[in-house]
Structure 1
């Protein structure tokens, strides 16, 4: 690859007039296809009975509260969600819930957000690097483990970050400060750690446009710092020692008591997110200045003691997804497509193969079959029928992690976990052999022995307690 010419630099900032319409038509088509695909996966997981309290049940309860004009609270999480993560943007889920009050509405909304982010990226790629690169980005983007883990991990606020980061990256590449500012505000309202990324955007702006002076990069960097400070103050004020308790994973403050395995060793697994970014950027994209935006996320994940932050099995990689894809587009638009037998083309090929391999393994691990969207598993039917037949509306129910989301919003669901002690009238759990926060069999047997009444259908058990009491599922 050679250095970009002045003409190529100009094209990077301003597209040819005739390229706009086909660029965004391809982007719109990619957005629709991706949204449908992600929705099919998410709804298939829902119908298969694999959706969970963490996080669909939590955010469904939050959306329900927002829709009634109340601050978001989740009995499953056991606190106000504004004290768990700083995500005011989730008030928009309250609007969705007002129209269609059911958890699948949030799954579809998230799918549309992720699809829209890909559409923006593909449209920009078509405009800057041609239709072949744009089609490659569309395919790689849809079948990326980073986005599939988010689409199949029920819902999470970082879905909003994907489109915000796509716009921020493009604004940086096109030298559009207003759009960069707007995208930065969007990100700050998404999650508390996004302030670090906005700070990095200030550094990136300075690196890309040093001739502009310090005012704009300092404005972005200052906005990022202010965003982090405001977010942490709100978290500490709303739920002292809860949301800010995530800092305990970095050796600061007290734990928020989430039952997450910790590891303080220098495990090589800490580098997995870095490898994911290299794959997303198709190797050669790492030389783009946009890589600066990925550094804060890669750093805080690497230094944390929370092993889930290092893993590739959750939603954390969605932050890297738009940055990596657009970094690749940036490099190709500046330096051209790598020659066929060069090391760069070999690197791109290896990254594509690795990316598809990771995606296939993720879908296999989640056991998601698109056909599940069109049939409801027996466990879901049994949860609903037991609830309809024996639970009064609004009943307080402690639920195993694979049950609660299916009871929102008709019933008041709580989490059946050793670290929480909800006061409830009923308990519902399944007999699935493996599940997150699984209730021990001996604890289930004790609940059944002490029950006033027990109903069973298939693998689902509903227990009516003799009186309202605090539940701790331990033996």
Structure 2
């Protein structure tokens, strides 16, 4: 007969015998079905945005050009980034962000060369984070709660907003950060360390995530789990440290190793490696309200802590974003020390006084921490549950917190990017999208073109794309937009004046529809 096992208040049967094995297979099948369904929805959403001309040169074409270079065994050069930001047409994006992990996507370009490949890869990577989140939750509350927590992550607004802003290196972070936490929780320290080291290849500031995880490990001082919990882990092949676990002797050493390793990796990546690839070490310095550089800012923060608090609330949008990160999770991350893992990375953004998009709820930045926050919610719920009287704990369904998190995630859907899935124009091109496609079709293969931000992704697989901006680039072809505001212009009037100056400079109009204008001039290719 199957043996009853108690795991953090959840009673289940150990997977012994034919019945237990069948149950495990069904759970695995359901889990991977959830992963596949989410990947399909994510990919469909992203590809339909691309087809409807809702993607952008900044940043999709940047990554498309870079990974195409990788696929040719070259440095990851992104002409569109280098020219627009003044680094030159041969600028490698390793001088912008240290993200060598992107080279892993290069073989996909041998199968299909184009930005759609990146969007599908990102969809799969985001969906794969479901697996470690499910396993982490299942150890505490059982399979039912695990499906709810995984679905809450899948529907979360940070994931939705990241998918709505094209492709970024953040695609690798949810799955790797969740693996780091879950594998350490399961006692597989080697696998956790491998995930942590992989994170360091995603972006130069990912060492801050390791620093936070190290601080979390220093807090692990819970009493040793009971025999039933240890037996459950042994039967699952996960003997070792466990959830919120007790503090084995190596935890403090591991915590210190993660902290030191994360700090060193962040410094080396941001201060040495980026400069080697032609980047500007101070390009992303955004902390002028605290000091002109890191040493001065650190001293100011230590001697004037009230100024730090003032920066955290200036502008108030920062407080709104931080509230949005925990409110849909029912404030449960506040009950878990695992939340320490994300604090250094969150502080990096919220202490900034430049780059306002860093602290907005839009864009992709919040996707860097959402997987760990969901797991911290689960851990927080488990800790609160353990503090209840045994009788009260028995009356509350184990899956209740995760189910409530899923409900909150569903409630948030209409207020963030996934609401666009119900927009008919996403699935069927409107007149403006058809005009954009016609404008793109006027550009010859291999041509150098200054493109309006929204049209660049359609041209990137077959043309050399620059961003149409306010600077003369002397490209033979230009696609302008005089009807809708396009990055990096600040007003429509600026865009119209730019077109007038191009016409005055010898360009001739070859196409116009729904605000899009294609201009051409017979000039030698400047690059």
- Residue 283 of structure 2 corresponds to residue 245 of structure 1: yes
> Counterpart of 2:454?
402
> Counterpart of 2:69?
65
Q: Please list the CA deviations of residues 395-444 of structure 1 after superposition, one character each: whole Å capped at 9, or x if unmatched.
A: 111112111111112111111223x5534111112344233324522222
Structure 1, unaligned runs of 5 or more: 1-5, 255-262, 471-475
Aligned counterpart in structure 1 of residue 260 of structure 2, from 222, 244, 250: 222
Q: Distance in 1 between matches of 2:342 and 2:95?
A: 26
Determine if contact 2:480/2:517 at 8 Å carries over to the other structure.
yes
Q: Distance in 1 between matches of 2:374 and 2:446?
A: 46
174-183 vs 66-75, which deviates more?
A: 174-183
Measure how far apart 1:299 and its partner are: 1.0
Q: Distance in 1 between matches of 2:140 and 2:409?
A: 23
> Counterpart of 2:202?
190
Determine if contact 2:178/2:372 at 8 Å carries over to the other structure.
yes
Aligned counterpart in structure 1 of residue 93 of structure 2, from 65, 70, 81: 81
Q: Distance in 1 between matches of 2:44 and 2:143?
A: 27
Determine if contact 2:146/2:402 at 8 Å carries over to the other structure.
no
183-192 vs 227-236, which deviates more?
A: 227-236
Determine if contact 2:459/2:465 at 8 Å carries over to the other structure.
yes
Measure how far apart 1:453 and its partner are: 2.4
Determine if contact 1:450/1:465 at 8 Å carries over to the other structure.
no
> What TM-score results when the alignment is normalised by the length of structure 1?
0.84
Q: Distance in 2 between matches of 1:183 and 1:131?
A: 24
Aligned residue pairs, count: 450
> Counterpart of 1:138?
150
- Residue 475 of structure 2 corresponds to residue 450 of structure 1: no
Q: Distance in 1 between matches of 2:423 and 2:149?
A: 23
> Counterpart of 1:259?
none
Give the secondary structure class of the aligned counterpart of 1:71.
Answer: coil
Determine if contact 1:141/1:325 at 8 Å carries over to the other structure.
yes
Measure how far apart 1:30 and its partner are: 1.6
> What TM-score results when the alignment is normalised by the length of structure 2?
0.76
Aligned counterpart in structure 2 of residue 267 of structure 1, from 286, 293, 315: 315
Measure how far apart 1:16 and its partner are: 6.1
Measure how far apart 1:314 and its partner are: 1.0
Aligned counterpart in structure 1 of residue 275 of structure 2, from 232, 236, 241: 236
Q: Highest Rg: 1 or 2?
A: 2
Determine if contact 2:135/2:182 at 8 Å carries over to the other structure.
no
Determine if contact 1:67/1:97 at 8 Å carries over to the other structure.
yes
Matches within 5 A, 1:202-351: 202-208=214-220, 210-213=247-250, 214-232=252-270, 233-241=272-280, 244-249=282-287, 251-252=291-292, 266-279=314-327, 281-305=329-353, 306-333=355-382, 336=385
435-444 vs 158-167, which deviates more?
A: 435-444
Matches within 5 A, 1:21-100: 21-78=25-82, 79-100=91-112
Measure how far apart 1:288 and its partner are: 1.6
Structure 2, unaligned runs of 5 or more: 83-90, 221-245, 295-310
Q: Distance in 2 between matches of 1:416 and 1:316?
A: 25
Compared with structure 1, are the counterparts of its residues 371 and 69 closer, same or farther at alpha carbon in structure 2 (3 Å cutoff)? farther
- Residue 169 of structure 2 corresponds to residue 115 of structure 1: no
Aligned counterpart in structure 2 of residue 434 of structure 1, from 468, 482, 485: 485
> Counterpart of 1:465?
521
Measure how far apart 1:387 and its partner are: 4.2
Compared with structure 1, are the counterparts of its residues 264 and 162 closer, same or farther at alpha carbon in structure 2 (3 Å cutoff)? closer
Compared with structure 1, are the counterparts of its residues 91 and 372 closer, same or farther at alpha carbon in structure 2 (3 Å cutoff)? farther
Q: Please list the CA deviations of residues 94-136 of structure 1 after superposition, one character each: whole Å capped at 9, or x if unmatched.
A: 2212210011111111001001112331243234312331232
Give the secondary structure class of the aligned counterpart of 1:183.
Answer: helix
Give the secondary structure class of the aligned counterpart of 2:283.
Answer: helix
Give the secondary structure class of the aligned counterpart of 2:475.
Answer: strand
Give the secondary structure class of the aligned counterpart of 1:456.
Answer: strand
Q: Please list the CA deviations of residues 44-94 of structure 1 after superposition, one character each: whole Å capped at 9, or x if unmatched.
A: 211211110111111111111111111111111113210111100001222
Compared with structure 1, are the counterparts of its residues 253 and 425 closer, same or farther at alpha carbon in structure 2 (3 Å cutoff)? farther
Compared with structure 1, are the counterparts of its residues 181 and 421 closer, same or farther at alpha carbon in structure 2 (3 Å cutoff)? farther
Determine if contact 2:132/2:179 at 8 Å carries over to the other structure.
yes
